[in-house]
A and B are shown apart, each in its own frame.
Chain A
């Protein structure tokens, strides 16, 4: 636990070295510094993790960050089960993606290559700060830091205007959410007078129910921004403009789970605010199904994965909303593995296709790139929830909790899971099966990616398969849910509040059986349908609505962007002119007046004396009238 400060320190040093010396370092050195710092931080995280597992948790305070009389914000790190688990996910997956990037980004100029690694290291640093902070302010610093890095990396190829627009969109959308988070922090300060987790969670009696509901809702607004939920999700698909490893690390595996981390961290507040819990569950479920329907008709390999990410994040929020905090964290973990795997696999495909991202131009890639093919298949099986793979365990846990809360929501959630299986296998079959549909040059160029790309894929594939076995559900093997046992101290209080209503084991077997059966049917259907004939025609009717993402971007454009532009134009053309006219008018009239008054100063001594006498006479007259 004494080493904890090293975890964020290594990426920070890596960022400074790569960022400041980007003109002097060669590419291999940059790669070593960038990846090495994350590896070092991963090793320290492992030490910390086992330390925490042995029971050494607590708050490590370093210095006073802000001190205003009675109100103090310490710069302190929270070392406990939740943060140490997130440390492992961030640094572990982060290291693999750094390693992958050394090969994937190799064609960049060395200066930009170093810039890329500097941003990536800064991102990991901010994310670690977010997770480690022992109060909401430190979390907010990390929260803003990851938003900044996300912006910088989406706009990494800043010469392309659409990419910088996508970066702006991500940043602005996040700012909307951040405002909610910030107000929530101020609200907490006004009620408790402290932002430390330990103080806030132990003084719940200082909050009224309304306070709790509003604070949790505001925090949730922050989470919808960062974790791409309805209504602030539209930035995430556009964020795919960044390099693919960035999409894997930031926009799938780690940053977008910050919202889930925040709610899981504040679980005790949420458990006392039932209204918010319901809202979180409904929004999560709606996002899960909504994004899944959009993903059905997308043809850009990264866009499908992006909507799939939005959808999976929706499941995590559903889990939080029904009180399955462990399930949410579990899904964060497994999702980090399989979604990073899928994104890196898609990166490998894009690399082989020479930058082509349209799956209609791919097909039959399986025989050219066996490693990518097999690992991608494992990723698809995991996300679809085929038994034995990690996604099955986490998703099943979420759905089981949802069933005990509300069977209707369970049915909708299951429908979303079926959609997930369908679009993932549409993607898989269209890309890797059938015959090649690209140009002859592209076919000639097809090759398996180098080791720096395939090794992370293989490791992540192993994790995507095996990651679920830390959370074997109760009904399969009693007391085998290692993750639940590990995290139980964090969620113990909430469990007491929410109560525990486990399902009958028979019911659980039945639910799992039904969902598995349906998912397998969907997978087989999708596989056989798209392996033979790819979905290459332009969609018609309802499919067109889905392909155009339900026209949500257009809707936002019409109801928010256009009116705001209109307001801006009005201010610019009318208000500004009016204000200008008033200000300039005051200036001009003073100028004019003084020009006239100046003429009084004639230089004639006689006239001065006359004014003097008139003045004196006036004084006398005034004295005469106003005396007393």
Chain B
């Protein structure tokens, strides 16, 4: 499959994520949108990694990289995302306990 499809899919996912973050007020949905954006990036990384790896297999002498380091990054991002989710969900839980709402616009005490 050509690389373009992966790129377009990743951009679409990323834009969906951004739109979600910008437009929704529910903290959990914003969180999910962030995850979508992260996964769009992951998808892109894996796709490019695969592309470079195929090129490496075809002609190892001319290749600049073996193409596995991109896949390694994906694991890092997943780990970071997992840590982030645990912290983020904890914050949302605390927020709900204090305000009985998960609306982010409700938290504007630092304004001005």
Q: Chain A residues in contact with chain B, CB under 8 A?
A: 598-599, 601-606, 609-610, 613
Contacts and interface: CB of A to CB of B under 8 A. Distances in A.
Contact of A610 (B22, B104, B110): B22
A609 B19 CA distance: 11
A603 B18 contact: no
Given A604-B105, A605-B107, A606-B104, A599 B25 contact: no
A602 B109 CA distance: 9
B111 A613 contact: no
B49 to A, nearest CB: 23
Contacts, number: 33
Interface in B14-62: 18, 21-23, 25, 30
Contacts of B110: 601, 603
7 contacts: A601-B111, A602-B108, A603-B107, A604-B105, A605-B30, A606-B21, A606-B105
B108 A606 contact: no
A428 to B, nearest CB: 90
Contacts of A599: 112
Interface residues of B, number: 14
B22 A613 contact: yes
A608 to B, nearest CB: 10
Contact of A605 (B18, B105, B109, B112): B105
Nearest to B23: A606
Given A606-B104, A606-B105, A601 B112 contact: yes
A598 B22 contact: no
A598 B110 CA distance: 11
Nearest to B105: A604
A609 B21 CA distance: 8
Contacts of A609: 21-22
A494 B95 CA distance: 100
Contact of A603 (B22, B25, B108): B108
Contacts of B105: 604-606
Contacts of B112: 598-599, 601-603
Interface string B95-110: 0000000001101111
Contacts of A604: 104-105, 108, 111
A603 B110 CA distance: 6
B111 to A, nearest CB: 3
A620 B105 CA distance: 29
Contacts of A598: 112
Nearest to A599: B112
A604 B103 CA distance: 11
B21 A603 contact: no
Contacts of A613: 18, 22
B16 to A, nearest CB: 14
A615 to B, nearest CB: 13
Nearest to A598: B112
A605 B30 CA distance: 10
A606 B21 CA distance: 7
B111 A602 contact: yes
A604 B30 CA distance: 13
B4 to A, nearest CB: 20
Contact of A606 (B25, B109, B111): B25
A374 B111 CA distance: 97
A609 to B, nearest CB: 5
Nearest to A595: B112
Contacts of B109: 603
Nearest to B18: A613
Interface string B59-84: 00000000000000000000000000
B25 to A, nearest CB: 7
A603 B111 CA distance: 4
Given A602-B112, A613-B18, 14 more contacts: A599-B112, A601-B110, A601-B111, A601-B112, A602-B111, A603-B107, A603-B112, A604-B104, A606-B21, A606-B105, A609-B21, A609-B22, A610-B22, A613-B22
A605 B107 CA distance: 8
Contacts of B21: 606, 609
A207 to B, nearest CB: 73
The 3 closest A-B pairs by CB, nearest first: A603-B111, A603-B108, A605-B104
B94 to A, nearest CB: 16
Contacts of B25: 606
B34 to A, nearest CB: 10
A605 B88 CA distance: 15
Nearest to B27: A605
Nearest to B104: A605
